[in-house]
Amino acid sequence: MFSKILIANRGEIACRVIKTARRLGIKTVAVYSDADRGARHVAMADEAVHIGPSAPRESYLVADKIIEAAKRTGAQAVHPGYGFLSENAGFAEACAKSGLVFIGPPPAAIRAMGSKSEAKKIMEKAKVPLVPGYHGDDQSPDLLAKEAARIGFPVLIKASAGGGGKGMRVVEAAEKFADALAGAKREAKAAFADDHVLVEKYLTRPRHIEIQVFADSSDCLYLFERDCSIQRRHQKVIEEAPAPNMEPARRKAMGEAAVAAAKAIGYQGAGTVEFIADQDGTFFFMEMNTRLQVEHPVTEAITGQDLVEWQLVVASGGKMPLKQDELRIDGHAVEVRLYAEDPARNFLPSTGTLVHLKLPEEGAHVRVDTGVRQGDTVTPFYDPMIAKVIVHDRDRTSALRRMAALMGETEVVGVTTNAGLLKALCSHPAFVGGEVDTGFIERHRATLFAAMAPADDRAFAIATLARLVEWQDRSPTAGDPHSPWNEQNGFRLLDEGHDEVRWKDGERDVTVIAHRLRSGGLRLELPGGAQEARVQRADDGRLAIGLGSDTFVATVVRRVAIDGGIDYTLFADGRSRRLRLVDPLDLSMYEAAGAAEATVRAPLPGKIIDLKIKAGDTVSKGQPLLVLEAMKMEHTLAAPADGTIKSVRYAVGEQVAEGAELVEFEAS
């Protein structure tokens, strides 16, 4: 076994590998960029080496820097994690030439599966079922359009060299094919330095089922399946194992097909064979990921195995600890990906500092893989994942119920997250009942996003009570119990003591009047009527609240937003809400609210990669204006209304900051 390894990755990936290495007594070396100088994975490792600027192409994707760091620190092997250089055959070969063990499959196996089109040819020879499509080398737009017409719409354009939803487009009709192809090729080129694509038949209600395979020098087996069908923008959101409604015969057939795929390329180590399955039970090979997957924890949960330990054992020349007939499925596991993103804005990534972070506590049923801590910053340079939360329980219903509760208890302030959507998904009757396919989120958007409805009276009451407690805490005599200024009986001549607190919830303005009663309590005038209330700060900093006949606790986090406004984020009853405090003395707030938005701004830092308009053009509401590349994805910004383009502030290739004015717009 190795005594020291270098982990050529970052974030929760590196932290996950470090945990197993530490348990096995293996020393670890982390690498980090400028943006990750104070990151959690750097603190966890035994040693850490700086490898360059924040952009991955100047740090985590520079093989020479990583190999030099491994040699300088005396590491014997390199674990690539997943992502970055994990599926780079050239990097695996460079490691071997430098006397380092690459903890992954042989370079030839990586290269064989690195091109989706070449992989399809290999799988066809191995008699693994394939989706109808075009996987050829001729990439002329005219030919690809003809092949799409032959296959029949809808079709799926996919980057041949990569995955993760990048370089992927669903095309519903022939007239939309050219634009979709250009976008897919552009995104593929940026993500993988290769714009080669393939075109396949798009199944309208498919399931995404993948098989975990593992091989050593003499044997290959499968550790059952994972269902990864719940997706947004072709990227996974929820994974579970075993797959719901999976019959034993079908599991065996898919497992054996996956093993045949691995054997066809002389595979060793951990890998995943991904299939797309129709509702009738038929399945087709989609791709093989020649690495450990983000969702591997659910497989570990139901099998009781540590796949990173298996990787280390096999890479050091050992054998897998179990045979196929010794593997068993125990219970059900669900993993959710907690992202810094805004589901209500088409899952736009969110950047910022994690000023408050409360993740679920780990225990017998719960595992949390994360690479961040409170105070860390989610930057535009890397994937916006905050954590993976994994639940293992006796059955699927129990696991989903537990996960929904955990998502309701998760608290993040500083970035927008998908926690509310994850809770809604895990408690949705159709999903709990076994309705699973890749179109689930879009099909049930109305009910899933209803959970993110406007704030109610309870939210306004909590925020107002928090504001009143703040005033009390900040009183100059707050520490003097005998000061008359601390009296809370609301005494006034000819009037009842009261305060007015104004809030903004989206476009809605709400004023809450808090009357201070002589009894020491409060009466709140809320949009839905008056309620009596009481509040005090608990020892843990939370608020103990009485509202009407209800008593509960709430966490309230006050934060100065990037625009200078003050936001209050509330966590109570398994829900979260964010309200903006309205300062009646800030006239600029009203001027901004009353004026029509005259510009299109960058929603996050990124690079302009395509301009579809120029100054003087007339556009209609919803018409694409430009494409912004940020956080490894393309984001198309559209016209907010019918109007005319007055000016375009940036050119293709220019970097822009969050909030930058990109297009000056004059509404009709």
Residues annotated as catalytic (active site), given as ranges: 291
For residue 635, CA distances in Å to 166, 541, 624 come to 12, 39, 10
Pairing of strands 491-492, 366-370: unpaired
Position 604, amino acid: L
Extract the tokens encoding 180.
């979709």
Residue 511 near residue 527, CB atoms below 8 Å: no
Q: If 0-12 CB within 10 Å is exposed, 13-18 middle and 19+ buried, where does residue 411 land? A: middle
**Rounded CA gap, 489 and 496, in Å?**
9
Residue 372 near residue 359, CB atoms below 8 Å: no
**Rounded CA gap, 404 and 8, in Å?**
34
Pairing of strands 575-581, 498-505: antiparallel
Extract the tokens encoding 381.
């340079």
DSSP state of 417: B
Residue 206 near residue 437, CB atoms below 8 Å: yes
Instruction: Decide: helix, strand or coil at residue 457.
Output: helix
Contacts of 254 (CB under 8 A, 6+ apart): 209, 211, 225, 275, 283
**Rounded CA gap, 98 and 463, in Å?**
60
Q: If 0-12 CB within 10 Å is exposed, 13-18 middle and 19+ buried, where does residue 301 land? A: buried
Residue 290 near residue 113, CB atoms below 8 Å: yes
Q: What is the 3-class SS of 87-102, one letter each residue? A: CCHHHHHHHHHCCCEE
* Cα three-residue angle 621-627-628, rounded to 5 degrees: 120
**Rounded CA gap, 490 and 509, in Å?**
26
**Rounded CA gap, 426 and 332, in Å?**
14
Half-sphere exposure for 401 (CA within 13 Å, toward CB)? 7
Extract the tokens encoding 226.
């994972």
Residue 168 near residue 156, CB atoms below 8 Å: yes
Q: How many residues are there in the chain?
A: 668
**Rounded CA gap, 657 and 261, in Å?**
45
